[in-house]
């Protein structure tokens, strides 16, 4: 799971799909089930994303925390 601050207002969003540093699918507010497709031009996001927490789940169900505050 990846959390990021999005846009000029720094809204907290959950990133569901990111490839090569480009965010393609977000959820806001967290756990709402409301998904958004951020605008991408020339292979880059138009709005800025600042990743604040990243968790990777391994096959045994344990979480690996990277980054975060």
pLDDT digits (tens, 9 = 90+) for 5-26: 999 999 999 999 999 999 999 9
| pLDDT of residue 49 exceeding 70 | yes
The rounded distance, in Å, linking the Cα atoms of 4 and 45 is 13
- For residues 24 and 38, the answer to whether their CB atoms sit within 8 Å is yes
Domain that holds residue 21: 2-66
For position 20, what pLDDT does the model report? 93
For position 68, what pLDDT does the model report? 47
Greater pLDDT, 55 or 5:
5
**For the chain, how many structural domains are there in total?**
1
pTM of the model: 0.76
């Amino acid at each position: 799971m990846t959390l990021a601050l999005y846009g000029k207002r720094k809204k907290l969003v959950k990133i569901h799909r990111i490839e090569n540093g480009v965010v393609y699918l977000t959820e806001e507010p967290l756990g709402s089930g409301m998904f958004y497709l951020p605008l991408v031009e020339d292979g880059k996001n138009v709005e800025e994303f600042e990743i604040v927490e990243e968790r990777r789940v391994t096959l045994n169900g344990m979480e690996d925390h990277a980054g975060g505050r």
